[in-house]
Chains A and B, each alone.
Chain A
């Protein structure tokens, strides 16, 4: 009769399965780390770009705008943002990812300040939106607002959207929140042309505001020039 149970085999198969689980989690970690490395290298590249633009801008002391304007690639910043968001959802290493996210927020602020200066003095057509959302609680309006902003960004490459997690523990972001007096009950919040817009705003409304902002810029530099002369 073949009714003997080979317990040793059950145990061996169990050990093999446990081994496979460890291998799988090792592989998962390995690729996760690769991804974090990739994020780090993108971030470093962007940091160098921003730093170099800043330096270049300072060196040329606003006399020539030719070389400066296009040097910071907003596309890369966007890509990094998307990857970080994905990483936060899918990678286990949350400490690393949240550290990278802080760094990313800082880079965004630096890019914002620099681009604002460049666009003001070099007549570059651009518009800026600072966008504050939250991940701490379920914010369906934030989800919708993000969709609106990313489609606007696709439509207008000159529009730069900087998004910040409200709950991030970073003094620079906290300073921004203080400056614009943003409260966590009013999320999502947008800053467009120094104006605070709270709760959800639809695509049509924002689109017209962005176009308005472009128009303002076309007139602003002339006014500035007159003032200078």
Chain B
């Protein structure tokens, strides 16, 4: 019977439309609170901040990263920059060493132990009330830090502020696809911020009150996603995480499908395993929307993508089988004939309309995310690349991440 797959399909479509509508309703509720500041702002106080830059073989980008930190619009004596070489085997150390002459930069060299160990070294040496990391492949906008700090100033209950992470430049269509995805990420993160349900405090320039680490302990391995684990820990302890949409950090993205695959495998593996570690949080009222919306949404999206992938493979095999059948029965010369376009044959099943609706909300998310980042409404082809590439390859890293989890295999960082 084809009934059971149809019921599963129906339920999964229902859930994905539900998630998109939930985001959209959140947007409608809070749209007036979304402000994009264009000019420079001033704070009443400029608290001192430590920014730790863990680097492992980042010789290509580290110079530009440090330069961007040095040009932050924030009093120089209030920004302490820690450059931490986590046992690089390339020229990273030689580059960061030269920055030690700056009074507000401290350089460290340690044996390779993983990103979280480098961040913890930074934490140990930090003497400021605010602490944040910056991935060595990312570059900060000069106004980013001051805008982030304004969120802390406005609301003393805010314990961490995440910026908008944007693709720094896209040279090929793999990167263009990610560009659209990151814009969507800006929108999603903002909405999760309104819901108090952010599940990742991204490596590029999330700033924390030092109290978070004093109370909850330092960074953990977190299945190679320490920026997710700390966010889960904060949510479990009801520490508020906010998103500052107009604080921009530009990050470099994987240039090839293989590199993208490895990065996403690590992320999804991190999501699955951190969620397993924090499963006691799931569907518990006291942990807020994080437990009833963010985590279930993540789980549902893994199910949907895996299921759709199965369906696509089934359809593809079915299609190939029918073509082979034609080939075997009537030979080559009859295949070339294509039937003319007739509107009658356009499928009008109800699921088609629902999928179209869900997609249009995703398109809205991408466009509005970009509006929050660039201040203008832009329709770009990147979206098309995004749908194309992620639709095709995302199932592979999702399924591999589930597979790795089942077999307890840990994916490598790069």
Contact = CB atoms under 8 A, between A and B. Distances in A.
Interface of A: 1-5, 9-10, 12-14, 16-17, 20-21, 23-25, 27-28, 31-32, 35, 38, 83, 86, 90, 143-144, 147-148, 151, 154, 202-203
B18 A14 contact: yes
Interface string B266-308: 0000000000000000000111111010000000000000000
A90 B21 CA distance: 28
A144 B18 contact: no
A2 to B, nearest CB: 3
A21 B350 contact: yes
A48 B25 CA distance: 55
Nearest to B25: A13
B344 A151 contact: no
B240 A27 contact: no
Nearest to A31: B348
Given A90-B347, A154-B334, A5 B157 contact: no
- Most B CB within 10 A of own CB, among A24, A35, A38, A147: A24
B357 interface: yes
Contact of A28 (B290, B337, B348): B348
Contacts of B329: 144, 147-148, 202-203
Interface in B322-358: 325-326, 328-331, 334, 337, 344-345, 347-354, 357
Contacts of B21: 13, 16-17, 20
Contact of A20 (B17, B25, B344): B17
- Most B CB within 10 A of own CB, among A10, A17, A25, A28: A17
B202 interface: no
Contact of B357 (A2, A13, A24): A24
Contacts of A35: 344, 348
A10 B292 contact: yes
Nearest to A143: B325
B350 A24 contact: yes
B150 interface: no
Interface in B225-240: 238, 240
A42 B22 CA distance: 45
B286 A21 contact: no
B403 interface: no
B54 interface: no
Listed from nearest, the 8 A-B pairs whose CB atoms lie closest are A2-B196, A3-B288, A31-B348, A28-B350, A24-B353, A24-B350, A151-B334, A25-B350
A9 B18 CA distance: 11
A25 B353 CA distance: 8
Contacts of A38: 344
B14 A16 contact: no
Contacts of B357: 20, 24
Contacts, number: 91
B354 A203 contact: no
A31 B287 CA distance: 45
Interface of B: 14, 17-18, 21-22, 25-26, 29, 157, 195-196, 238, 240, 285-290, 292, 325-326, 328-331, 334, 337, 344-345, 347-354, 357
A17 B14 contact: yes
A100 to B, nearest CB: 13
B353 A9 contact: no
A204 to B, nearest CB: 10
Given A3-B238, A143-B325, A13 B353 contact: no
Nearest to B333: A151
Nearest to A18: B14
Contacts of B18: 13-14, 17
A9 B21 CA distance: 11
Contact of A5 (B25, B240, B285): B285
A199 to B, nearest CB: 14
A203 B331 CA distance: 9
A1 B238 contact: yes
Given A13-B25, A144-B329, A1 B353 contact: no
Given A3-B238, A10-B292, A21-B354, A90 B349 contact: yes
Given A17-B18, A23-B353, A2 B288 contact: yes
A203 B330 contact: yes
A4 B347 CA distance: 43
Nearest to A39: B344
Contacts of B29: 9
A104 to B, nearest CB: 15
A23 to B, nearest CB: 7
Contacts of A86: 344-345
13 contacts: A1-B240, A3-B238, A10-B22, A13-B21, A17-B18, A20-B17, A21-B354, A27-B350, A38-B344, A148-B329, A148-B330, A151-B330, A203-B329
A151 B195 CA distance: 60
A5 B292 contact: yes
Contacts of A32: 348
B349 A28 contact: yes
A20 B353 CA distance: 9
A9 B350 contact: no
Contacts of A151: 330, 334
B325 A154 contact: no
A221 to B, nearest CB: 32
Nearest to A203: B330
B317 to A, nearest CB: 15
A146 B357 CA distance: 37
Nearest to A1: B238
